[in-house]
Structure 1
Amino acid sequence: MPQISINSPVGAITVFAFDDQIVALDWGFVDEMEPSPVLEEAKNQLNGYFAGKLITFDLPLAPDGTDFQKAVWDAMCKIPAGKTATYKELAKAAGSPKAFQSVGTACGLNPIPIIIPCHRILASGDKPGGYSGQGGLETKRALLKIEGVELALGSDQGSFDL
């Protein structure tokens, strides 16, 4: 499977592709990279994001998951950089307003974190919720800080109405 690794402010990450679509992003560095045009573009966009120059990813994504998970991930992609939403708001946007716990599960199973921005999802009351990526909440905090959101959450954290 084609893959490419990069160093980032949140640690080494590797992006994987299948059939010219991004299928996964994971923490860590692979020794034997197999780049492809879509992976080179992902690398360029990720570097732009980490430099604060890119606010919207434009990559072909093919995350593997249930229909509900895909609806949640699609809704996440509609949250602009620098904004956040709650699990409850995301559940409503995904068409299942009472399924906010399932939204949390979908966030945790997101196979393409950062690009599918599960770090923008907060618990109710402006609480950070969780983050399953390497570094946990510190990584979530760092990603949001790149976008101009401080996780010392207050009323100015920039909630996005889905």
Structure 2
Amino acid sequence: MTTIGISEHATPLGTMWATWTVGGLYRLDWNQPDDVAGEATVTTDTTDFDKQLSAYFREGTEPLEGIKLDTAGWTDFTQRVYENCRKIPAGETVTYRELAAMAGNQKASRAVGAAMAKNRTLLVIPCHRVIAADGSLRGFSAAGGLVTKQRLLELEQPNGLFA
């Protein structure tokens, strides 16, 4: 991965950091990248991205459509999982098993869980919308863990967290 820029984005849940490569958005989360010392520099225009991210937190609507992702290191199955995860509408959830079926292998719910744990582009690939078969929240590797997952799900409801 050759980083061409890192951008910083203020959100109601804290600062998000985006890492960009020639392939597109490589990473988006609340943890500051290790390779940022002091100021973040951006060598790509992130204006549209920032507008979409702001709209997501303001309205709880489907975020970050049309953002090119750097898919380096993804297996074919992981790519199918992520593509199908992006189709889950804001305000809705699916189980790991349902997402596995959407990706072509309903018996691969554990593999879906592993893919969600490795998701490096939070919100763009809305892994917070994937829940356990019993409806409980499980596994969320972003800063704040399950509390953040719950807050994102609440945000996407009609009278959401930031409404």
The TM-score with structure 1 as length reference comes to 0.84
User: Map of 1:117-132 to 2, 5 A cutoff?
Assistant: 117-132=126-141
Query: 2:62–2:89: 8 Å Cα contact kept in structure 1?
Result: yes
Could you say which residue in structure 1 is the equivalent of 2:156? 147
Segment of structure 1 superposing worse, 71-80 or 23-32: 23-32
CA offsets 1:113-139 (integer angstroms, 9 cap, x no match): 111100000000211121111000000
- Aligned in 2, Cα 1:11/1:141: closer, same or farther, shift over 3 Å? same
Q: Is 1:32–2:35 an aligned residue pair?
A: no
- Aligned in 2, Cα 1:121/1:149: closer, same or farther, shift over 3 Å? farther
Distance in 1 separating the partners of 2:28 and 2:158: 23
Residue 52 of structure 1, CA deviation: 1.1
User: Map of 1:80-99 to 2, 5 A cutoff?
Assistant: 80-99=89-108
Query: 1:86–1:123: 8 Å Cα contact kept in structure 2?
Result: yes
Matching residue's letter, 2:150: R
Query: 2:31–2:143: 8 Å Cα contact kept in structure 1?
Result: no
Q: Matched residue pairs, number?
A: 149
SS at match of 1:23: strand
Query: 1:50–1:146: 8 Å Cα contact kept in structure 2?
Result: yes
The match for 2:22 among 19, 24, 33 is 19
Query: 1:56–1:80: 8 Å Cα contact kept in structure 2?
Result: no
Q: Is 1:100–2:117 an aligned residue pair?
A: no
Identity, % of aligned positions = 34
Query: 1:45–1:54: 8 Å Cα contact kept in structure 2?
Result: no
Segment of structure 1 superposing worse, 4-13 or 127-136: 4-13
Coordinate RMSD, CA, aligned: 1.9
Residue 53 of structure 1, CA deviation: 5.9
Query: 2:100–2:106: 8 Å Cα contact kept in structure 1?
Result: yes
Residue 12 of structure 1, CA deviation: 1.5
Distance in 2 separating the partners of 1:63 and 1:48: 25
Could you say which residue in structure 1 is the equivalent of 2:13? 10
The TM-score with structure 2 as length reference comes to 0.84
Could you say which residue in structure 1 is the equivalent of 2:55? 48
SS at match of 1:102: helix
Q: Is 1:68–2:71 an aligned residue pair?
A: no
Distance in 1 separating the partners of 2:39 and 2:23: 19
Structure 1 residues not aligned, in runs of 5+: 151-162
Residue 7 of structure 1, CA deviation: 2.0
Structure 2 residues not aligned, in runs of 5+: none
